[in-house]
Amino acid sequence: MSHDETPRDADVRISDYAGRVVRRWYIVVLCVIAAIGLVLLNTVGNDTKYQAQATVFLGQPLTPLGGQTITASVATNPASASAFTRSDPVIAKAADAAGLKPAALRSHVSVTPQTVSAAQRGTSLSSNIVITIRGPKTWTRDQMKKAVGSLAEQLVQWANTYQDAKVKLLTDQVNTDKQTIETLNRSIGRAERSLAALDRSGLSPVDKASASAPLLATISDAGSRVDEISFQMTTNQIFLTAADTVEAAGFVQQPAVKTITATGHRSSLIVAVFAGLIAGVLFALLWDAARRPRTTA
């Protein structure tokens, strides 16, 4: 007899608890509504519609002779690049380009480095910098794109300070080499025409030889100079190409804007509903237990 009654007394009657929850259904509903309301209050004002992003390669500056990478460079330091991008003048210029307030833009900008590692040497190469703007719903796609584009372009220009100076110097040198070669070639041409005129003249062989000696020397010297300058100009052109391509900072990802999906908000609401249900069931059981009349022996 006692063997049959003990399990019956200890048995948890699920239907009884379910009935208590059903009787206090309004508590469950209120808890779910409260949980959803908290989620909505937490996201109001922070809702984002668009995300603008650009990725910038900081460049890989080489030594002036193009032999080695300059490892210690402010422009290729991700921390320096981040500080520059978030500096007041840069933010102000981007905000002006997009028609936004600098303080509002700053609060929605994030600058994240993507470091590329050389595992075989255990060193770190130049980094990519990802500039992201997550703006409120009041900002348009055009504003977002202009803002992130301005920030990225300013970063590229800043990172290319050394490379731009190098390109200018090399370009000037190549242009000078070209002009010098043209001048030397004109001298060679005049000397050759003078030799041809001497050959057609009625001067004696001795006089021709005497007159042609300086002309031949001019052709020889100018030709040697042309060869030397041409070799150096080719080297400078290679350095120029490297400075303008390999070394230069630039866009890995052009400024672009995409619509942010509502997946995150939907997930938060689903979690809130489940949390509200659990809390509501617990409160309903507690409230029902507190409201039930106590029985006396």
106 within some domain: yes
82 within some domain: yes
**Angle at Cα 248 formed by Cα 243 and Cα 253, nearest 5°?**
150
What phi, psi does 112 have (nearest 5°)?
Answer: -125, 125
What sign does the dihedral 41-43-45-49 (CA atoms) show?
negative
136 lies in the same domain as 254: yes
85 lies in the same domain as 230: no
130 lies in the same domain as 201: no
Measured CA distances, 282 to 21, 259, 289, 291 (Å): 9, 40, 11, 14
pLDDT digits (tens, 9 = 90+) for 226-282: 999 999 999 999 889 888 888 889 999 999 998 876 555 667 778 878 887 888 778
CATH of residue 92's domain is: 3.30.1890
What domain range includes position 210? 167-244
Count of CA atoms in the C-beta half-sphere (13 A) of 143: 18
pLDDT digits (tens, 9 = 90+) for 52-91: 999 999 888 887 776 677 777 787 888 899 999 999 999 9
124 lies in the same domain as 201: no
92 within some domain: yes
287 within some domain: no
Total structural domains in the chain? 2
At 210, the pLDDT band (50, 70, 90 cuts) reads confident
72 lies in the same domain as 58: yes
| pTM greater than 0.75 (yes/no) | no
253 lies in the same domain as 146: yes
123 lies in the same domain as 155: yes
103 lies in the same domain as 203: no
Mean pLDDT of the chain: 82
